[in-house]
Structure 1
Amino acid sequence: MTMKRLLSFIWNWIAPIAFGIAVYLVVTTFWVNIVTINGDSMAPNLLDAQKVLVTKTENVKRGDVIVFDARKEDPRIQAGNKDYVKRVIGVAGDTVEYRDGNLYVNNKKVNESYISSDEQVTGTEASFGSSWSLGTLSSTDMWKKQDQGKTVVPKDSYFVMGDHRSVSNDGRYFGFVSKKHVIGRVIVPFWYSKTVQNNIGKDRNHFFA
């Protein structure tokens, strides 16, 4: 084999591989990544060890499920943990409160059909009682210092909760999530059931009851 043919043969093998690697790096860096769920805080909609897609976006809305760097948000994060997956309940300027068995954002009842009635009530009341608001939650010393005493979601921040409320370590316990620490929004791949896909995305368009 001549040198010219050898170089052509090598190029025909290397070029597609190099192109594939480049595309993968661009996609995972700027658009989409794959994340493995760790734990049950988003059950039954997202399960432990389930793989989901995470898309990078600046347009986070109520009802979106996001992934964020918990090391910069949860003062009591357990060793080995890194990222949390939670649902956005409140965005900048929102008030959030729980009363009479219902969750309210800006005094409007939230459509919580994506979780069981038990989690809507008992799970949501866990540790904080039958009535609470951002003001009462932020009055405890559990929250990050910069979040304490606030009654509305600050600018460029989110208030998040897990779907499995009774076990979820979420905003009720540590405060708000800064926009700059959000990795992206969860998209359930097409191969999961329609029920799971709908429950992840339902509140994005139908947040209030």
Structure 2
Amino acid sequence: MKFLKLCFKNWIMPIAIGITIAVLIQKFIVIGATVDGLSMMPNLSNNEKVIESKLSTIKRGDVVVFDARDEDPAISAGKKYYVKRVIGIGGDTVEQRNSKLFVNGKEVNQSYIDFYQQSEGTGLNWQLSNLSKRHAWQEKDQNQTRVPKGTYFVLGDNRMLSNDSRSYGFIDKSHILGKAIVPFWRQNKQAKKNINHQAKSFFVN
């Protein structure tokens, strides 16, 4: 009996506590995620691993992981997680004008992508309302002139290839799984800065 008590105290209990902590961290704090596709190039590559932080407050310029099944009508079945950059939050106006992106009338700093992606890649002049008509967004998103409260407008960094809010509208807050963070061991410092810290310099000074 004494041996069993020692085993429980020294082995079973620490292992059980460790497993419980690991499960709680994965469920409520951080988890690993994998980028699927080329829509975030050149800053995130296909199959690249990122950390998904569930506790971070989402801001403009942050890159997020979200469940796209109820957002993108093109998804037929199964789980499908997208990784995109937040451009507009609830209450924002978003427009593309003269090869520049504006949020609430202020020019967005897009130094994290090249001029081709900023201009032709992002598309000709548009506002939210005419985007919704051009791409036949879901009825709930039609004719909005501002990003609705509790939703986000997202774009991929590889604008020419990205399937994002331009095509299917706003992302509901409840579908956001977390903020994507490039781990510290990645060697490309500029790409890491473009993902982890772009929110700090979202607008052109």
TM-score (norm 2): 0.93
Choose from 13, 16, 26 the match for 1:15.
13
Mapped partners of 1:46, 1:57: distance in 2: 22
Residues 29-88 of structure 1, C-alpha deviation per residue, up to 9 Å, x if partnerless? 111111111111111111111111111136211001111110011111255551111000
Asked if structure 2 preserves the Cα contact closer than 8 Å seen for 1:140 and 1:148, the reply is no
Q: Which residue of 1 aligns with 2:172?
A: 178
Choose from 162, 178, 183 the match for 1:168.
162
User: Structure 1 residue 57 and structure 2 residue 75: aligned?
Assistant: no
Which runs of 5 or more residues in structure 2 are unaligned?
none
User: Structure 1 residue 137 and structure 2 residue 131: aligned?
Assistant: yes
Q: Which residue of 2 aligns with 1:107?
A: 105
In the TM superposition, residue 163 of structure 1 has moved relative to its aligned partner by 0.5
Q: Which runs of 4+ in 1 moved over 4 A?
A: 78-81
Asked if structure 2 preserves the Cα contact closer than 8 Å seen for 1:63 and 1:201, the reply is no
What is the alpha-carbon root mean square deviation over aligned residues?
1.6
Query: Percent of aligned positions with the same letter in both sequences?
Result: 50
In the TM superposition, residue 142 of structure 1 has moved relative to its aligned partner by 2.6
Choose from 61, 68, 71 the match for 1:70.
68
Mapped partners of 1:6, 1:202: distance in 2: 51
Choose from 70, 93, 96 the match for 1:95.
93
SS at the partner of 1:72? coil
Mapped partners of 1:170, 1:26: distance in 2: 31
Q: How many residues align?
A: 203
Residues 4-49 of structure 1, C-alpha deviation per residue, up to 9 Å, x if partnerless? 2244235422222212111111111111111111111111111111
Paired AA for residue 25 in structure 1 = V
Mapped partners of 1:120, 1:141: distance in 2: 20
Mapped partners of 1:154, 1:169: distance in 2: 20
In the TM superposition, residue 93 of structure 1 has moved relative to its aligned partner by 0.9
Residues 123-168 of structure 1, C-alpha deviation per residue, up to 9 Å, x if partnerless? 111xxxx211101101235311100111110011110000011111
Mapped partners of 1:153, 1:78: distance in 2: 26
More off after superposition, 50-59 vs 38-47: 50-59
Q: Which residue of 1 aligns with 2:194?
A: 199
Mapped partners of 1:171, 1:52: distance in 2: 22
Which runs of 5 or more residues in structure 1 are unaligned?
none
Paired AA for residue 205 in structure 1 = K
Q: Which residue of 2 aligns with 1:39?
A: 37
TM-score (norm 1): 0.91
Asked if structure 2 preserves the Cα contact closer than 8 Å seen for 1:92 and 1:156, the reply is yes
